[in-house]
Structure 1
Amino acid sequence: MLTPSNAAPPARTYTNPVYAAQFPDPFVLRHQGTYYAFGTTGQGRAADGRIFTLLTSNNLVDWTPAGGALMPPEDADEADFWAPEVVYHEGTFYMYYSMGGGALADTVGHRLHVATSRTPEGPYTQVALLDVPGSKFCIDAHPYQDTDGRWYLLYARDFTDTDNGYRPGTGLAIDRLLGMTRLAGESRTVMRARHDWTVFEKNRTMPLYGNQTFAEWHTLEGPFVRQHAGRYYCFYSGANFLTPRYGVDYCVADAVTGPYSDAGAEKGPRVLAAVAGHVRGPGHHSHVLSPNGQTEYLVYHAWNPAMTERQLCIDQLAWTAQGPRCVGPTYTAQPLPT
């Protein structure tokens, strides 16, 4: 019988957010037992003058600030930097992100770039532009290595047409990577908006496209691919990130290049959705395994109650008979990842 002197200590728990400060578009890399989280800084800089906020952890819950990750490129003082993702390949860490916007938004748009480092925490140095011909707005780069060893880059880009019944707006595309720093120029559409819930804004005038006004502008963004049971699941965030409609859904294919189907996504996000009165705008996530290497977690941002910060949250992902579903978003105490 346990007595107060020999009773087992209570199991540790966590409550979202796990980092209660500004940390949009979180990506988490696990390398040699340490978790490295990278977050968007926009036009901001960390205290060390670098771009992209960097945190470290050994359990996905207790995070320590570690400065910034990317050295500012030349002539980029007025640019926004969004949505970094990092992979390790043959001794080098590659960081993919978009740069543009800010004071240049109406003329330059956003374009994809890659930077490299010999260590996961950086500093990273920009080495190449990943140009997507015909697109003025490309964001949310996501590198993925297929089972045959080939690397691909998924990203979000603008589409202004209504071909095949799709809605104008930001959609998802994929291209093959050559040597990690160049696109093959074989871009294919992964998924475009076709459901009401993904509308970003109505009657939106776009200076980037000659001040053309669109009756509805939709958004799919933040692609992230997982292979499960022989199929490819491309997760994404949809709708306006400021609204209760914003959340995470997915489409499915038999090959990483598609074709993808989003059957079942008609009514709203199925993986991660807002909880009225508790969680607003959960999304732009990444996937990572718990310390035991077995349990899969979604790492995502959600608004604080005042909607002044998008904060870092985590919740377990479950693969159900109906498809992938997040055990959340949670706002009460949860078991610590093991």
Structure 2
Amino acid sequence: MKQIKISLNELAHVLFLALITFVTGCQPAKEKLTMDNPLPVEFGDPYILKASDGMYYMVGTGGVKDGFKMYSSPDLKNWKDEGRIYQGNTDDSWNIANFWAPELYEKDGKFYLLFSADWRENPTNELENFRIGVAVADNPTGPYTDLMDRPIFDPGYPVIDGNLWFENDKVYLYYSRCCYKNPVESEVADWAREKGMFQEIEESWIYGVELQADFSGIIGEPKLLLRPPVKMDDQQAEWESRSVTSGEVNRRWTEGSFLLKNKDTYYIMYSANYFGGKNYAVGYATSDSPLGPFQKAANNPVLQKNVEQGGVVTGTGHNSVTLAPNGETLLCVYHGRTSKTGDERVVFIDPMEIDPNGKLIVHGPTTKEE
């Protein structure tokens, strides 16, 4: 990858930076890569680490109660169930429920599991009390134990979907503030009230902040990077507001961030709309700095349901990015649903690229039948 860096691990500094340095400007692969979508894995929020041993390790939401499980593969085709790798909700853990959105990183010979869960400390009995924590293991398949007896930090509101970016000696944390108790005034909120649909619209926003190198806390104050559009004539407003305008729910999400870099440009991919509904979709924004400001792309969304085009996939979102075994093709890893899988979220992997003009393109969703 000659000009791309992808924060998949601090291997993104070691192995992945080396690999990513080999991909030369995110050019598409010379031969078509086909995946047997959807994978037989019932995960939400899938994340795949290509580790220094050459293996792929996939984690995600679901599969076990109060914790996380893992699948491994040498080729992204054949997957082995590695079972539970992390047990939460123990007498000693800082977390008690709702274990979501794990990500896996390799750094200095150890493996780190970043994840969201409900914090045990909840004196005001909040219904949503999510924070982000880290667990560590000597081997990619674990078992993972909490690095600290607390979350990384407490911003004073619930947060989910942590993602890390390593650059030089710095580490950056990206996360989403939950919609919970965050009503926001906007033209979309005004429209929903006028229609008699919802009295208020809650929103989730994506923030970024520098992280201590040992993951023990943050440096400085978090910066707001992305939020839903305020104006209805904003070109992003239609696709980012579908959960509201369809009458599905009184929330607009900006979540599931993933950072990568092409040449001198930082790309942050994100998901909008209700993760449990058909309108979940992925967009991206760009910046010349890891902490913004970010400008949303004109070609958003880059991944969305395809039922209107005769396909069978809905609810596409919360993606990560990895490299194909050929060492060249970028792959978008995400969850979705099909007419066969029903309400269960399953994993998809599709090729993606950044074209010579800097436009990010995901070639999906695809299914095996197509």
Q: TM-score, normalised by structure 2?
A: 0.74
Matches within 5 A, 1:12-161: 14-18=35-39, 20-31=40-51, 32-41=53-62, 44-45=64-65, 51-75=67-91, 79-100=97-118, 106-128=126-148, 129-135=151-157, 137-146=158-167, 148-158=168-178, 160=182
- 2:340 equivalent to 1:300: no
Instruction: Tell me by how many angstroms 1:161 deviates.
Output: 5.5
Structure 1 pair 201–300 and aligned structure 2 pair: CA distance change class (3 A):
closer
The whole-number CA distance in structure 1 between the counterparts of 2:96 and 2:69 is 18
Aligned match for 1:242, one of 269, 276, 279: 276
- Indicate conservation of the 8 Å contact 1:73/1:126, yes or no: no
Q: SS where residue 172 of structure 2 aligns? A: strand
Match in the other structure for 1:190: 225
- 2:368 equivalent to 1:332: yes
Amino acid across the alignment from 1:153:
L
The whole-number CA distance in structure 1 between the counterparts of 2:210 and 2:242 is 29
- Indicate conservation of the 8 Å contact 1:84/1:95, yes or no: yes
Match in the other structure for 2:294: 260
The whole-number CA distance in structure 1 between the counterparts of 2:183 and 2:222 is 17
Structure 1 pair 238–101 and aligned structure 2 pair: CA distance change class (3 A):
farther
- 2:307 equivalent to 1:272: no
- Indicate conservation of the 8 Å contact 1:23/1:53, yes or no: no
- 2:241 equivalent to 1:199: yes
- Indicate conservation of the 8 Å contact 2:283/2:297, yes or no: no
Match in the other structure for 2:203: 169
Structure 1 portions without partners, runs of 5+: 1-10, 204-214
Instruction: Tell me by how many angstroms 1:322 deviates.
Output: 6.4
Instruction: Tell me by how many angstroms 1:313 deviates.
Output: 1.0
Deviates more, 1:286-295 or 1:126-135: 126-135
User: How many residues of Structure 1 are paired with residues of Structure 2 in the alignment?
Assistant: 301
**Deviation string, structure 1 residues 30-80 (Cα, Å, up to 9, x no partner):** 1111000001128x43xxxx7212000011121111101213242468511
Deviating 4+ runs (over 3 angstroms): 11-14, 75-78, 104-108, 161-168, 199-203
Q: SS where residue 79 of structure 1 aligns? A: strand
Q: TM-score, normalised by structure 1?
A: 0.80
Match in the other structure for 1:287: 321
Amino acid across the alignment from 1:274:
K
Amino acid across the alignment from 1:284:
H
Q: SS where residue 130 of structure 1 aligns? A: coil
Match in the other structure for 1:311: 346
Instruction: Tell me by how many angstroms 1:183 deviates.
Output: 1.7
The whole-number CA distance in structure 2 between the counterparts of 1:325 and 1:234 is 13
The whole-number CA distance in structure 1 between the counterparts of 2:74 and 2:314 is 27
Amino acid across the alignment from 1:113:
G
Amino acid across the alignment from 1:158:
C
Match in the other structure for 1:210: none
Amino acid across the alignment from 2:118:
G
Q: SS where residue 239 of structure 2 aligns? A: helix
Cα RMSD, aligned residues only:
2.8
Aligned match for 2:252, one of 218, 226, 231: 218
Structure 1 pair 200–100 and aligned structure 2 pair: CA distance change class (3 A):
farther
- Indicate conservation of the 8 Å contact 2:160/2:178, yes or no: no
Amino acid across the alignment from 1:272:
L
- Indicate conservation of the 8 Å contact 2:33/2:351, yes or no: no
- Indicate conservation of the 8 Å contact 1:101/1:110, yes or no: yes
**Deviation string, structure 1 residues 55-108 (Cα, Å, up to 9, x no partner):** 000111211111012132424685110000011111221111111189x88445
The whole-number CA distance in structure 2 between the counterparts of 1:21 and 1:250 is 26
Structure with the higher strand share, 1 or 2: 1
Match in the other structure for 2:6: none
Instruction: Tell me by how many angstroms 1:271 deviates.
Output: 1.6
Q: SS where residue 197 of structure 1 aligns? A: helix
Amino acid across the alignment from 2:304:
A
**Deviation string, structure 1 residues 230-258 (Cα, Å, up to 9, x no partner):** 10000011111233321110011110010
The whole-number CA distance in structure 1 between the counterparts of 2:322 and 2:164 is 14
Deviates more, 1:117-126 or 1:65-74: 65-74
- Indicate conservation of the 8 Å contact 1:80/1:101, yes or no: no
Structure 2 portions without partners, runs of 5+: 1-31, 189-200, 230-236
